[in-house]
Amino acid sequence: MRASWRIARIMGIDINIDPSWLIIFALVSWTLAGYYFPRQFPDWSASLNWLLGVVTALLFFASVLAHELAHSIVAKWQGEEVRSITLFLLGGVAQITEEPDKPSKEFFMAVVGPLSSIAIGIVFFIIWLLVRDVSQPLGALTQYLAIINVVLAVFNLIPGFPMDGGRVLRALLWKTTGNLQKATRIASTTGQVIAFLFIIGGIVQIFSGLIFSGIWIIFIGWFLHNAATVGYRQVVMKEMLREVRAKDLMSTDFETIPSNLSIQQLIDEYILKRRDRAFLVADRGKLKGIICLENVKAVPPEKRSTTLVGEMMTPKEKLEVVSPEDDGQKVLTRLTVKNVGQLPVMENDKVKGILCRSDVLHHLQVRQELGV
């Protein structure tokens, strides 16, 4: 995901909006206000159509958010960490720190999303029954939201990874075969086939004169195909990383610097003479922290000679560290989830090495080149 805006925090989960969401929100509002409501109620004014279109779009995306919150709540209940939920062009996505480690976790996390959408659809249907004879606009709004939430549930139950239905399929295959990689491959292949069907359907619609609708369906198919392919590659990558340890990936060729070194000395004596972008800070053999190029760049040039490394470093207490026996998947999770570029490898409070993202990527690249 690109940079997004945080709009709320629910149950410790950041709720974000990706810039692309503005496009789909405007498109849904325009479709409702310009086509859906006017065709059903031609006597309505343009202002009423637009008011109802915007409100309906907001409630629809609130329903999408509730769908993702359902996934997140079950994930947290099962002990997983959920960092954020982001609304974007094609709906929403919950960023869960790690993939489920058991088929049952995968199944319940996946199935609760569509079930929540069906439940929301039923609630709006009940409201529609109560208000349809009282207010025509409210009746139209609730009827649309009842239908669209059921459609959302059915769409997400398509049995192709990484859709919710694909994850349910993967969980069942995983339980049956005991092999996560095989289950993911089958579910991912199913997802790619379904994606191609979407693309073919979109092409048919274009030739039938429904150009905009056809392009949109082709785009959805392309997105599903890409997500299915990437999802399988990620699982394969994580399975490969389970076989290696941090001690196999780390670099022992590192140099520590004292905390009383000035930033200007660090630049002149280390950064410009070495290719490293991060340096461990240690005094008398004890790790104090780590300083990265980003920390150095934050110091104005005129203050670099008087600012010490110890003032700008990330202290040891705030560092993410791993042990030599931690597997590569845990290393990668620490690097990506915490958004850090390097990790000290510690054993008995002593630094054994330093591990960068490039070390993990290099290992994966070599294995790919060797066909391992």
Cα distance between residue 148 and residue 143, in whole Å: 9
The mean of the pLDDT values for the chain is 86
Cα distance between residue 368 and residue 240, in whole Å: 10
Distances from the Cα of 209 to the Cα of 202, 204, 293, 351, angstroms: 11, 9, 55, 66
Evaluate if residue 2 carries a pLDDT over 70: no
Is 68 a residue of the active site?
Answer: yes
| Domains, the chain, with CATH or none | 5-241 (no CATH), 246-370 (3.10.580.10)
Amino acid at 339: N
Reported confidence tier of residue 338, pLDDT bands at 50, 70, 90: low
Angle at which helix 46-77 crosses helix 19-31, to 10 degrees, equals 130
Distances from the Cα of 102 to the Cα of 18, 90, 191, 242, 354, angstroms: 31, 28, 21, 16, 31
Reported confidence tier of residue 131, pLDDT bands at 50, 70, 90: very high
- pTM of the predicted structure, to 2 decimals: 0.73
Query: 307 versus 97: which is more confidently predicted?
Result: 307
241-253 pLDDT, tens digit each = 777 888 888 877 7
80-94 pLDDT, tens digit each = 888 888 888 777 787
Catalytic residue among 68, 98, 99, 302: 68
